[in-house]
């Protein structure tokens, strides 16, 4: 227990035990969808390389050329921590001629050695 002094008052704060409580520092996994709109095909190889480097969090991928509009749409189903998914979408968004949007579900998988329960 840690005791803090705030404006002349003493209050206590429970500090988590990082050794005995693995959930404190292990990040939960989320399932989500990422939509990528590609307007400039000259960046396809850079995008594919980027997606390949994040292959461990990509569960599914579907590409759709919309020829009448001159664009390509790629949809991804991902499962990873919010940091991993955010890193992927951030790097995609920095590519020229590419737009990206993502959405995460409420489903959460908290890593725990003793249980396979999921939080919904």
pLDDT digits (tens, 9 = 90+) for 13-64: 554 544 454 554 467 999 999 999 999 888 899 999 999 999 999 999 999 9
Say if residues 33 and 88 touch (Cβ distance below 8 Å). Answer: no
Q: Which residues pair with 45 in a beta bridge?
A: none
Residue ranges in 30-115 assigned as alpha helix (H): 44-53, 82-93
Of 32, 35, 52, whose CA–CA distance to 93 is shortest?
A: 35
102 confidence band (pLDDT: 50, 70, 90): very high
Residue 25 DSSP label: T
Six token digits for residue 25: 């520092």
What domains, with CATH codes, occur in the chain?
26-109 (3.30.70.1150)
Say if residues 81 and 29 touch (Cβ distance below 8 Å). Answer: yes
Residue 32 DSSP label: E
Of 113, 89, 91, whose CA–CA distance to 103 is shortest?
A: 89
Q: Is the pTM of this model over 0.85?
A: no
pLDDT digits (tens, 9 = 90+) for 88-99: 999 999 999 999
Give me the pLDDT at residue 18, please.
46
Give me the pLDDT at residue 24, please.
44
């Amino acid at each position: 227990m840690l005791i803090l002094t705030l404006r002349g008052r003493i209050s206590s704060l429970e500090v988590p035990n990082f050794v005995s409580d693995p959930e404190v520092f292990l990040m939960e996994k989320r399932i989500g969808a990422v939509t990528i709109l590609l307007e400039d095909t000259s960046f396809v190889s850079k995008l594919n390389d980027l997606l390949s480097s994040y292959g461990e969090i990509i569960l599914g991928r579907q590409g759709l050329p919309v020829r009448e509009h001159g664009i390509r749409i790629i949809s991804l189903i991902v499962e990873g921590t919010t940091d991993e998914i955010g890193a992927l979408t951030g790097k995609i968004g920095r590519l020229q001629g590419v737009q990206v949007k993502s959405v995460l579900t409420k489903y959460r998988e908290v890593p725990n050695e003793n249980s396979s329960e999921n939080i919904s």
